[in-house]
Chains A and B, each alone.
Chain A
């Protein structure tokens, strides 16, 4: 090959792009904002105005390390990836620490009503470190154990930052302090709603998936019905359920006592179950359908009973696909429960709709951020479970 040699400067384009975005946001966008009370919008504060000298130096150092990791020349590829993965944890810690330290300093001699909120640069640095980590984890092809270890380390960094007084002067943390008991209640409520929807969805969906696999004639009808549920907007379903459920609650007193009524938990769970069915049934069906016919013929030919074939061959081989379905519906349900707050089912959506009503952005964030964190954790955990369920040979 006599192609002219072109020198590549950039080894990792994703990392380079994220670095450019981070630097641009540091230069152009505020890191935090300072306002006299929770309802008026604040004054933008740039990163270099907010930070002490050592923090700026630390940011610069991390940026430099990431730059070295992004370039093609200086480091071997894997070392560069490990370096960028390693750099995300101090970046995350520094981002949080810097914000907390600034809030402490800025509020020390301000009025008690004054608030410090996080600005765009804070978020961009946070997301940049998350994306750098995801990119590095993928390129390094770390197994489930390595991924889990990184996830725990990142959670530990976040946990340490939140555990002390570091972040407590922030506006969002003061909203949290006001709502502390309520927050825990809504968290539990949120999780119960998700669990309460997933359990019946699995109990119904797994057998339906098996049925779709065994009875070709039922399959098309079943999937069209489930598809219809999936296409209905969630708010419409909540609305549609109000009339029949309140009638049911009134007509059957013991159901009413159990809490079945037009609004609240019952319609929320019913709607969530309906939404969860299609991915569960579809993935169970396609997981089973993906089991090789050769393996099935051999299993039969060697004298396994249908039950033995199901439990020893079909389910273990279909499990990764079934669990991917569970991953989809879990993340989906965590998000949908937010909307269910509209019909009084509770959960983190309560804060979001309250905050929207009061025009208190930090209260909205108090609902939105934990929802996102829950979804990310669930996604991450189930992803690890999926790869653990792969047949050991093919992992």
Chain B
């Protein structure tokens, strides 16, 4: 558990970070986010005192570490940065062993720990132990950087935009890996990013900063559903946040009973399903923008399943120009339908990670 109490940083008479207080329980994944210059990185660096505090206190697992010598404090806190900061003249194994060596662990204990961490990050020790940083790909170097930060089993792990400089595909892989490692180790993590996607992928808590102040600190879904003010609403409303939300929602949350007779009055929405003897949908009558009375053979490309994400379902509706998709179970039997109306008409419920297949 880490508590920040009234952290303030003053440069030349101006508060770049002002009175930031937050508590992160053990095992939480806290993400600091905000526009550039909002003080998120400064706040992070105040935790390990790379930036000295102007005022405020830091409590680590109940100990007040504000007055502890900076080097001692830093050896209890892992630190990973965007440029990896790997030492180019040291092998991968020696890089990972940096903090254990500073703490004067025995050689065998260090070797075991290095192997353990390399296994955790899927780096084959036989292949990578003796490689040098310049021989690694961007993703591998970043994994080594995070492994190094975790080497001495720190109480908290600080990460300063660690995946900001790698290509999008590698970034997604690293994020997935970070979620897994977080789950495996149960580490308390403080993570800085400016990428909302990344924050939503990883965070159990999000702290939104603006102009050096903490605007809102909450669970991700609460931030979206109950924004504290217009700034939060606008910040989360950037870009395709609506679609992002749908990518964390599942068809079964939006599904309704299938319409088997014509009764709707709205143009384009009046439709009904024709089934075969086994209860599988074979023809859709109506619900096509081009000709609402047309009968369309149901195509396997636009059949939805309860586990499908709503983003994917929406994408199929748009691509195949149908207003409603059939939802079938494993045997292909029609169990429901999901349509354009449903996407707009339902209240947000459940967390971002709730429901759906575990990813």
CB pair A391 B88 closer than 8 Å: yes
Chain B contacts for A316, CB-based, 8 A = 89
Range of interface residues on A (Cβ < 8 Å): 20 to 34
Whether the Cβ atoms of B99 and A294 lie closer than 8 Å is no
Query: Taking CB as reference atom, which chain A residue is nearest B158?
Result: A301
Is A232 among interface residues, defined by CB-CB distance under 8 A? no
> Taking A308-B102, A316-B89, A317-B89 as contacts, is the C-beta distance between A298 and B132 under 8 angstroms?
no
Docked pose: A298 CA to B79 CA in angstroms: 7
A292-318 interface mask toward B, CB cutoff 8 Å, 1 = contact, 0 = none?
Answer: 111111111111110010000100110
A392–B50 CA distance with the chains assembled, in angstroms = 30
Q: Which residues of the other chain, B, contact A393 by a CB distance below 8 angstroms?
A: 88-89, 91, 131-135
B88 in contact with A302 (CB, 8 Å): no
Contact indicator A300/B88 (Cβ below 8 Å) = no
Establish whether residues A301 and B50, one from each chain, have CB atoms under 8 Å apart when the complex forms.
yes
Stretch in B2-10, B69-77, B198-206, B278-286 touching the partner: B69-77
With A297-B50, A300-B74, A393-B134 in contact, is A317–B88 under 8 Å at CB?
yes
Q: Is B48 an interface residue (CB 8 A)?
A: yes
**Given A294-B85, A392-B132, A393-B91: A303 in contact with B75 (beta carbons within 8 A):** yes
B292 at the binding interface (Cβ < 8 Å): no
Q: Is A394 at the interface (CB under 8 A from chain B)?
A: yes
CB distance from B96 to the nearest CB of A (A): 11
Given contacts A298-B79, A393-B135, contact A303 B71 (CB under 8 A): yes
Q: How far is the CB of A296 from chain B (nearest CB, A)?
A: 8
Does B236 have its Cβ within 8 Å of any Cβ on chain A? Answer: no
Q: How many residues of B contact A (CB 8 A)?
A: 32
- Distance between Cα atoms of A391 and B50 in the complex (Å): 27
B90 partner residues in chain A, CB cutoff 8 A: 391
A308 to B70, CA, bound (A): 14
Determine how close the nearest CB of chain B comes to the CB of A181; give it in whole angstroms: 48
In-complex Cβ contact of B99 among A292, A302, A392 (8 A): A302
A308 to B99, CA, bound (A): 12
Is B17 interfacial (CB-CB < 8 Å)? no
Taken together as a complex, chains A and B put the C-alpha atoms of A296 and B79 apart, in Å, by 12
In chain B, residues 142-174, which have Cβ atoms closer than 8 Å to a Cβ of chain A?
A: 145, 148-149, 158
- Given known contacts A294-B83, A294-B84, A302-B74, is B98 in contact with A394 (CB within 8 Å)? no
CB distance from A268 to the nearest CB of B (A): 38
A-contacting residues, B32-72, CB 8 Å = 48, 50, 70-72
A306 to chain B, nearest CB (A): 9
CB-contact partner of A298 in B71, B72, B86, B134, under 8 A: B86
Query: Known contacts A297-B50, A391-B132, A393-B135: does B99 contact A303 (CB below 8 Å)?
Result: yes
Residues of A within 8 A of B87 (CB): 295, 298-299, 313, 317
Q: A302 with B75: in contact, given A295-B87, A297-B81 (CB under 8 Å)?
A: yes
A238 to B72, CA, bound (A): 54
Contacts of A292 in B (CB 8 A): 83, 85, 88
A303: which of B72, B145, B148, B158 is its contact (CB, 8 Å)?
A: B72
A-chain residues with CB within 8 Å of residue B74 when the two chains form the complex: 300-303
**A305 adjacent to B132 (CB under 8 Å):** no
Binding site for B on A (CB under 8 A): 292-305, 308, 313, 316-317, 391-394
**CB within 8 Å of A: which residues of B?**
48, 50, 70-75, 79, 81-91, 98-99, 102, 131-135, 145, 148-149, 158
17 A-B pairs whose Cβ atoms sit less than 8 Å apart in the complex: A292-B85, A294-B84, A295-B86, A298-B81, A298-B84, A298-B87, A301-B85, A302-B75, A303-B70, A303-B72, A391-B88, A393-B132, A393-B133, A393-B134, A393-B135, A394-B88, A394-B134
By Cβ-Cβ distance, the 10 closest A-B pairs, closest first, are A393-B132, A298-B85, A294-B83, A391-B89, A303-B74, A301-B79, A303-B75, A294-B85, A303-B71, A316-B89
Q: A303-B75, A391-B90 are in contact. List 20 more A-B contacts (CB 8 A).
A: A292-B85, A292-B88, A293-B83, A294-B84, A296-B85, A297-B83, A298-B81, A299-B87, A301-B48, A302-B102, A302-B148, A303-B99, A304-B98, A305-B71, A317-B88, A391-B88, A393-B88, A393-B133, A393-B134, A394-B132
